[in-house]
Amino acid sequence: MANAMNESLSENQREVFGAAGEGGEPRQIGMGAGPAALLAVLFVGYLAYAADRLVFNTLLAPIQKSLGLNGVQVGLLGSAIYVGVLCTVLLAGHLSDRYGRWRIIIAGLALFTAFTWLIGFSTSFEEALLFRLISGMGEGLFWPVAMAAVAARYGARKGLALGVFYTGFDVGGIIGAAVTGAVFYIAAAWQPAFFVAPTIGLVAIAGVLAGRKGLEWSGKDSSMLALGRDALAVLRRRGVVVILAFATFATWATVWQTVFLAYYYRSVLNLPVAYSALAYIPVPAAGIVGKVLLGGLSDRWRRDRLLLLASLGMVASYAVFFGSSDLAVDVAASLSMGFFSSALFPVMQSLATDRSGGRVGTALGLTTTFQSVATILAPLTTGAMFFIGVGTAVALEAMVPAVLTLVSAALLKEPRLEVGQALEGTKGF
């Protein structure tokens, strides 16, 4: 009976209700302790990745000095983790179909934890590059599978749920920046700070092992990433190419914040390393508010319009930030740019699932792949332009793709889901 009811549901209904429950009744997604626990565990996993990135990026200046890196090597090292992500992100969901979501997420967390720990023992550019690359492969396994699980489990409330999931990056950034500043101040060395993120990774692994049944339940629908014809089918859907362009430009426009903002404060505004880390914290703090607020709002209002307004806010914030030489103005502008730029991603991923035709994982795999390409290119091109000045290079890498993000946002169109509209009044998780 349950299977018959599942087969009778439309793609949009399956997204909202998932597999049939006991007695053949459709099981509503987005309620109860089960979904909240699943979201909490995946949140911690994403937090671990963000903490690592901020540890690395905050310490980029002392790492450069310690390992004797030139500008190109700084860019390569900044891109290495994203190259690793690109190597595995499109395969992750396919592997989760075959081996189970929780196994792939565990594999990703284990790779990340082990090789991030090893970065603290790097003595050369080559070692650091290799460890960052493999660490990124772990993140590529985790990222799309975790997002697909959250989107599938929450259905019509996926905008808010993905917003909460994405705040793991901001919380991890705050933890990474704060701990890095404290550890570097106490130890006067960059290596010990790289043991922070792996410790969080161990906590996430334990949580995934404890909650693996919930992860497997979330995979009992059509929302996993697949290769080949599924990807081509998604690409043929109206508006998907524009979403992928938006994902590329938006990521390109924001990646400098995690890779080079603390470096910018250190190299351009001449702040000490510890203060550069602290000056970064307002950005992810504002991002937490933006992701939850606009992510939740996108479940009730048009996502295409929200993305246009947020993109405009990001461009204006960047213009103020780079146009001012006053630290107080820069910090105020960083709050605005953190709010708007961070809010883009859960709304964009929710719009991608709306356009997926039921192939949620495939759509998320495609968006994260294009995002990964942008995260590779942005640090490389920025580092290569350091010869014209760090401030000028970073400003160009932020402003040019930010304007292109705004242009692509103006071309986005959103299909409204009837089932989602019917459940707009649903409250809570």
pLDDT in tens, the chain (429 residues): 344 434 333 333 343 333 333 333 334 333 344 778 888 888 888 888 888 877 887 777 788 888 888 877 877 887 788 888 888 877 776 677 677 778 888 999 999 889 988 888 888 889 989 998 999 899 888 888 888 788 777 777 878 888 888 888 878 877 877 777 777 767 777 777 788 888 888 888 888 888 777 666 555 444 444 445 566 666 667 778 899 999 999 999 998 887 788 777 777 777 776 677 677 778 888 888 898 888 888 888 888 899 999 999 999 999 998 888 777 888 888 889 999 998 898 899 888 888 777 666 677 777 878 887 887 788 778 877 877 887 888 888 889 999 999 999 999 876 654 434 334 333 333
CA distance 344 to 308: 9
Give tens-digit pLDDT for 178-213. Answer: 777 777 767 777 777 788 888 888 888 888 888 777
CA distance 306 to 253: 17
CA distance 78 to 237: 34
b/e burial code for range 391-429 (CB count within 10 A of at least 16 → b)? eebbbbbbbebbbbbbebbeebebbebebbeebeebeeb
Dihedral of CA 414/169/177/193: which sign? negative
Residue with tokens 């709010």: 339
Question: CB under 8 Å to 405, separation ≥6 — which residues?
Answer: 246, 249, 250, 252, 253, 311, 314, 315, 344
In 3D space, the residue among 342, 55, 295 whose CA is nearest the CA of residue 154 turns out to be 295
Name the helix (H) or strand (E) containing 396.
helix 390-410
Give tens-digit pLDDT for 294-328. Answer: 888 888 888 889 999 999 999 999 999 888 877 78
Name the helix (H) or strand (E) containing 416.
none
Torsion of CA 384, 385, 389, 394, to 10 degrees: -100
- pLDDT at residue number 217: 56
Superfamily the domain 31-422 falls into: MFS general substrate transporter like domains (1.20.1250.20)
What does the radius of gyration of the chain's CA atoms come to, in whole angstroms? Answer: 21
Residue 152 and residue 219 in contact, taking contact as beta carbons nearer than 8 Å: yes
- pLDDT at residue number 416: 52
- pLDDT at residue number 216: 62
CA distance 323 to 122: 38
Tokens representing 409? 């946002």
- pLDDT at residue number 215: 64
Using left for φ > 0, alpha for ψ between -120 and 50, and beta otherwise, residue 191 falls in alpha
Q: Is 227 exposed, middle or buried (0-12, 13-18, 19+ CB in 10 A)?
A: middle
CA distance 101 to 95: 8
